[in-house]
Amino acid sequence: MRRALTAGAALVGAIAAIFATARVAERHAGAPLRCADGLVAIGPRCCGEGQTLSGDRCVGAPSRCPTTHTSSPEGCLAARRRVDVAGGEVQLGPSDWEAQGVVAPRVVRAGPLSVDVFELDVATHAACVDAGACAGPVERADPGRAAALGLDEARALCAFTGARLPTDDEWTWLAMGASGRRYPWGDTGLVCSRAAFGLVDGPCARGARGPDLVGARPLGASPEGLHDLAGNVAEWVTVGEGARARGGAFSATAASELRGWRPESPPDPRAVGARCVVTR
Protein backbone atom coordinates (compact mmCIF):
# COMPACT_ATOMS: atom_id res chain seq x y z
CA MET A 1 0.00 0.00 0.00
CA ARG A 2 2.76 2.44 0.94
CA ARG A 3 4.58 1.71 -2.30
CA ALA A 4 1.35 2.29 -4.27
CA LEU A 5 0.79 5.64 -2.54
CA THR A 6 4.39 6.66 -3.20
CA ALA A 7 4.12 5.70 -6.85
CA GLY A 8 0.81 7.53 -7.14
CA ALA A 9 2.27 10.67 -5.60
CA ALA A 10 5.24 10.50 -7.95
CA LEU A 11 2.90 10.12 -10.93
CA VAL A 12 0.81 13.10 -9.82
CA GLY A 13 4.00 15.12 -9.35
CA ALA A 14 5.26 14.17 -12.79
CA ILE A 15 1.95 15.13 -14.40
CA ALA A 16 1.96 18.46 -12.55
CA ALA A 17 5.52 19.13 -13.74
CA ILE A 18 4.52 18.36 -17.32
CA PHE A 19 1.58 20.78 -17.15
CA ALA A 20 3.78 23.46 -15.55
CA THR A 21 6.37 23.04 -18.30
CA ALA A 22 3.66 23.25 -20.93
CA ARG A 23 2.32 26.46 -19.41
CA VAL A 24 5.80 27.99 -19.40
CA ALA A 25 6.38 26.91 -23.01
CA GLU A 26 3.00 28.32 -24.06
CA ARG A 27 3.73 31.63 -22.32
CA HIS A 28 7.11 31.93 -24.01
CA ALA A 29 5.67 30.89 -27.38
CA GLY A 30 3.13 33.72 -27.12
CA ALA A 31 5.78 36.33 -26.28
CA PRO A 32 9.13 35.18 -27.69
CA LEU A 33 12.29 36.89 -26.52
CA ARG A 34 12.95 39.75 -28.91
CA CYS A 35 13.97 42.99 -27.17
CA ALA A 36 17.37 44.26 -26.06
CA ASP A 37 18.33 44.64 -22.42
CA GLY A 38 16.72 47.86 -21.19
CA LEU A 39 13.57 47.25 -23.25
CA VAL A 40 10.40 45.26 -22.59
CA ALA A 41 8.14 43.51 -25.09
CA ILE A 42 4.62 44.97 -24.98
CA GLY A 43 2.32 43.58 -27.65
CA PRO A 44 4.25 43.80 -30.93
CA ARG A 45 6.58 46.57 -29.73
CA CYS A 46 9.84 46.92 -27.82
CA CYS A 47 9.42 49.85 -25.39
CA GLY A 48 11.73 51.34 -22.80
CA GLU A 49 11.39 50.00 -19.28
CA GLY A 50 8.63 51.92 -17.53
CA GLN A 51 6.80 52.85 -20.72
CA THR A 52 3.30 51.71 -21.68
CA LEU A 53 1.68 51.02 -25.04
CA SER A 54 -1.03 53.31 -26.42
CA GLY A 55 -2.35 51.92 -29.67
CA ASP A 56 0.90 50.95 -31.39
CA ARG A 57 3.05 53.64 -29.74
CA CYS A 58 5.37 53.43 -26.76
CA VAL A 59 4.45 56.33 -24.46
CA GLY A 60 5.79 57.87 -21.27
CA ALA A 61 9.27 58.55 -19.97
CA PRO A 62 11.34 55.35 -19.80
CA SER A 63 13.09 54.46 -16.57
CA ARG A 64 15.75 52.57 -18.52
CA CYS A 65 16.93 52.23 -22.14
CA PRO A 66 19.59 50.10 -23.86
CA THR A 67 23.17 51.34 -23.60
CA THR A 68 23.04 52.21 -27.33
CA HIS A 69 20.16 54.62 -26.68
CA THR A 70 19.54 57.76 -24.65
CA SER A 71 16.46 58.35 -22.55
CA SER A 72 14.13 61.25 -23.37
CA PRO A 73 10.72 62.18 -21.91
CA GLU A 74 9.13 60.62 -25.01
CA GLY A 75 11.14 57.40 -25.18
CA CYS A 76 14.45 55.74 -26.01
CA LEU A 77 16.47 57.34 -28.82
CA ALA A 78 19.33 55.63 -30.64
CA ALA A 79 22.51 57.68 -30.83
CA ARG A 80 22.93 58.87 -34.43
CA ARG A 81 26.31 57.74 -35.74
CA ARG A 82 28.03 56.17 -38.72
CA VAL A 83 30.69 53.50 -39.04
CA ASP A 84 33.29 53.11 -41.77
CA VAL A 85 32.83 49.97 -43.84
CA ALA A 86 35.46 48.73 -46.27
CA GLY A 87 34.44 48.01 -49.83
CA GLY A 88 34.74 44.70 -51.59
CA GLU A 89 32.87 42.24 -53.76
CA VAL A 90 30.57 39.27 -53.30
CA GLN A 91 29.19 36.65 -55.69
CA LEU A 92 25.41 36.95 -55.70
CA GLY A 93 23.33 33.84 -56.24
CA PRO A 94 25.29 30.59 -55.87
CA SER A 95 25.78 30.86 -52.08
CA ASP A 96 22.03 30.42 -51.42
CA TRP A 97 19.92 27.88 -53.34
CA GLU A 98 16.77 29.94 -52.69
CA ALA A 99 18.24 32.77 -54.76
CA GLN A 100 18.37 30.60 -57.86
CA GLY A 101 15.77 31.74 -60.36
CA VAL A 102 15.03 34.84 -58.27
CA VAL A 103 18.18 36.89 -58.81
CA ALA A 104 20.61 36.72 -61.70
CA PRO A 105 24.05 35.44 -60.60
CA ARG A 106 26.59 38.25 -60.72
CA VAL A 107 29.43 39.85 -58.82
CA VAL A 108 28.38 42.78 -56.62
CA ARG A 109 31.02 45.43 -55.92
CA ALA A 110 31.02 48.37 -53.51
CA GLY A 111 33.57 50.97 -52.49
CA PRO A 112 34.42 52.16 -48.96
CA LEU A 113 31.50 53.84 -47.19
CA SER A 114 30.49 55.53 -43.97
CA VAL A 115 27.11 54.01 -43.07
CA ASP A 116 24.34 54.85 -40.60
CA VAL A 117 24.44 52.34 -37.77
CA PHE A 118 20.66 52.65 -37.37
CA GLU A 119 17.74 53.22 -39.69
CA LEU A 120 16.47 56.79 -39.80
CA ASP A 121 14.06 57.39 -36.95
CA VAL A 122 11.02 59.61 -36.38
CA ALA A 123 13.06 62.13 -34.36
CA THR A 124 15.48 62.70 -37.27
CA HIS A 125 12.56 63.05 -39.69
CA ALA A 126 10.88 65.58 -37.39
CA ALA A 127 14.09 67.65 -37.20
CA CYS A 128 14.26 67.70 -41.01
CA VAL A 129 10.63 68.86 -41.26
CA ASP A 130 11.25 71.59 -38.66
CA ALA A 131 14.26 72.81 -40.65
CA GLY A 132 12.16 73.01 -43.81
CA ALA A 133 14.33 70.44 -45.60
CA CYS A 134 11.66 67.71 -45.58
CA ALA A 135 8.02 67.97 -46.54
CA GLY A 136 6.54 65.57 -44.01
CA PRO A 137 4.04 64.82 -42.67
CA VAL A 138 5.57 63.29 -39.55
CA GLU A 139 3.95 61.78 -36.47
CA ARG A 140 6.14 63.03 -33.63
CA ALA A 141 5.02 60.57 -30.99
CA ASP A 142 7.29 57.62 -30.29
CA PRO A 143 10.36 59.38 -31.77
CA GLY A 144 12.76 56.44 -31.54
CA ARG A 145 10.91 54.10 -33.86
CA ALA A 146 11.93 53.72 -37.50
CA ALA A 147 10.48 56.35 -39.83
CA ALA A 148 8.26 55.14 -42.68
CA LEU A 149 9.28 57.23 -45.69
CA GLY A 150 8.36 57.67 -49.32
CA LEU A 151 11.25 57.69 -51.77
CA ASP A 152 11.42 61.48 -52.19
CA GLU A 153 11.27 62.00 -48.44
CA ALA A 154 14.00 59.41 -47.90
CA ARG A 155 16.26 61.20 -50.39
CA ALA A 156 15.59 64.56 -48.72
CA LEU A 157 16.23 63.18 -45.24
CA CYS A 158 19.54 61.62 -46.24
CA ALA A 159 20.58 64.91 -47.84
CA PHE A 160 19.61 66.70 -44.61
CA THR A 161 22.06 64.47 -42.73
CA GLY A 162 24.81 65.14 -45.26
CA ALA A 163 24.52 61.78 -46.97
CA ARG A 164 22.65 59.85 -49.68
CA LEU A 165 20.75 56.64 -50.19
CA PRO A 166 22.95 53.60 -50.92
CA THR A 167 22.90 51.99 -54.31
CA ASP A 168 21.42 48.53 -54.65
CA ASP A 169 24.91 46.99 -54.95
CA GLU A 170 26.20 48.91 -51.92
CA TRP A 171 23.28 47.76 -49.78
CA THR A 172 23.74 44.16 -50.93
CA TRP A 173 27.40 44.30 -49.96
CA LEU A 174 26.54 45.70 -46.52
CA ALA A 175 24.01 42.93 -45.91
CA MET A 176 25.97 39.98 -47.31
CA GLY A 177 29.65 40.84 -46.82
CA ALA A 178 32.47 39.12 -48.67
CA SER A 179 31.30 35.68 -47.51
CA GLY A 180 27.83 36.04 -49.08
CA ARG A 181 26.10 35.36 -45.75
CA ARG A 182 22.33 34.72 -45.88
CA TYR A 183 21.46 37.25 -43.18
CA PRO A 184 23.33 40.35 -41.99
CA TRP A 185 24.54 38.47 -38.87
CA GLY A 186 25.42 35.16 -40.57
CA ASP A 187 24.00 32.12 -42.33
CA THR A 188 21.61 30.81 -39.67
CA GLY A 189 19.65 31.86 -36.62
CA LEU A 190 16.61 33.83 -37.84
CA VAL A 191 14.91 34.28 -34.47
CA CYS A 192 12.76 37.03 -32.99
CA SER A 193 15.65 38.51 -30.99
CA ARG A 194 17.65 39.14 -34.19
CA ALA A 195 15.15 40.78 -36.55
CA ALA A 196 11.91 42.73 -36.26
CA PHE A 197 9.82 40.45 -38.46
CA GLY A 198 6.63 38.44 -38.05
CA LEU A 199 5.02 41.17 -35.92
CA VAL A 200 1.65 41.34 -37.70
CA ASP A 201 0.48 37.72 -37.89
CA GLY A 202 3.33 35.95 -36.09
CA PRO A 203 5.59 34.18 -35.43
CA CYS A 204 7.16 36.89 -33.24
CA ALA A 205 4.03 38.86 -32.27
CA ARG A 206 0.64 39.92 -33.59
CA GLY A 207 -1.13 43.15 -34.36
CA ALA A 208 1.73 45.45 -35.41
CA ARG A 209 0.61 48.47 -37.45
CA GLY A 210 4.05 49.98 -37.96
CA PRO A 211 7.78 49.45 -37.36
CA ASP A 212 9.54 49.06 -34.04
CA LEU A 213 12.21 51.03 -32.18
CA VAL A 214 15.45 51.17 -34.18
CA GLY A 215 18.26 49.10 -32.72
CA ALA A 216 15.95 47.06 -30.48
CA ARG A 217 17.54 43.76 -31.56
CA PRO A 218 21.34 44.11 -31.30
CA LEU A 219 21.85 40.34 -31.68
CA GLY A 220 20.98 40.84 -35.36
CA ALA A 221 23.65 43.45 -36.05
CA SER A 222 26.11 42.75 -38.85
CA PRO A 223 29.81 42.14 -38.06
CA GLU A 224 30.36 45.79 -38.98
CA GLY A 225 27.82 46.86 -36.35
CA LEU A 226 24.87 47.79 -38.60
CA HIS A 227 21.47 47.22 -36.97
CA ASP A 228 18.16 46.21 -38.58
CA LEU A 229 19.46 45.50 -42.08
CA ALA A 230 16.94 42.63 -41.97
CA GLY A 231 13.43 43.48 -40.82
CA ASN A 232 11.80 46.49 -39.12
CA VAL A 233 11.51 48.74 -42.21
CA ALA A 234 12.71 47.75 -45.64
CA GLU A 235 15.24 50.31 -46.90
CA TRP A 236 15.21 52.41 -50.06
CA VAL A 237 18.13 51.92 -52.43
CA THR A 238 18.82 53.45 -55.81
CA VAL A 239 18.95 51.41 -59.02
CA GLY A 240 20.15 53.66 -61.83
CA GLU A 241 17.56 56.44 -62.03
CA GLY A 242 15.02 54.34 -60.13
CA ALA A 243 14.78 52.80 -56.70
CA ARG A 244 13.50 49.79 -54.79
CA ALA A 245 13.32 48.56 -51.20
CA ARG A 246 15.59 45.95 -49.62
CA GLY A 247 15.80 43.96 -46.41
CA GLY A 248 12.27 42.87 -45.57
CA ALA A 249 10.08 44.48 -42.91
CA PHE A 250 8.19 43.95 -39.67
CA SER A 251 5.34 42.34 -41.63
CA ALA A 252 7.55 39.63 -43.21
CA THR A 253 6.76 36.06 -42.20
CA ALA A 254 9.05 33.95 -44.43
CA ALA A 255 12.79 33.60 -43.88
CA SER A 256 13.44 34.19 -47.58
CA GLU A 257 11.97 37.71 -47.28
CA LEU A 258 14.89 38.70 -45.07
CA ARG A 259 17.69 37.28 -47.21
CA GLY A 260 20.44 39.72 -48.14
CA TRP A 261 19.77 39.28 -51.86
CA ARG A 262 15.98 39.67 -51.69
CA PRO A 263 14.19 42.80 -53.03
CA GLU A 264 10.98 43.96 -51.33
CA SER A 265 8.38 43.75 -54.08
CA PRO A 266 6.08 45.56 -54.01
CA PRO A 267 7.15 47.70 -51.04
CA ASP A 268 4.57 48.32 -48.30
CA PRO A 269 4.36 52.12 -47.75
CA ARG A 270 3.95 51.57 -43.99
CA ALA A 271 7.16 49.57 -43.88
CA VAL A 272 9.82 51.27 -45.99
CA GLY A 273 12.38 53.64 -44.52
CA ALA A 274 16.02 54.38 -45.09
CA ARG A 275 19.59 54.31 -43.89
CA CYS A 276 22.10 56.74 -45.39
CA VAL A 277 25.68 56.41 -46.59
CA VAL A 278 28.59 58.69 -47.42
CA THR A 279 31.23 57.81 -49.99
CA ARG A 280 34.68 57.66 -48.37
d(C-alpha 98, C-alpha 271), whole Å: 24
Cβ pair 90, 83 in contact under 8 A:
no
pLDDT by residue (tens digit) across 246-266? 999 999 998 888 988 777 666
Question: What CATH number has the domain spanning 82-119+146-279?
Answer: 3.90.1580.10
Backbone angles phi, psi at 115, to 5 degrees: -125, 140
Tell me the average pLDDT of the chain: 87
pLDDT by residue (tens digit) across 89-143? 998 766 666 666 677 788 999 999 999 999 999 999 999 999 999 998 898 999 9
Cβ pair 119, 163 in contact under 8 A:
no
What residues pair up with 76 in beta bridges, in sequence order?
Answer: 71
The yes-or-no verdict on residue 6 having pLDDT over 60 is no
Query: What integer pLDDT is reported at residue 33 of this predicted model?
Result: 81
Q: Is the pTM of this model over 0.75?
A: yes
Query: What integer pLDDT is reported at residue 266 of this predicted model?
Result: 62
pLDDT by residue (tens digit) across 225-245? 999 999 999 999 999 999 999
Q: Which amino acid is at 229?
A: L
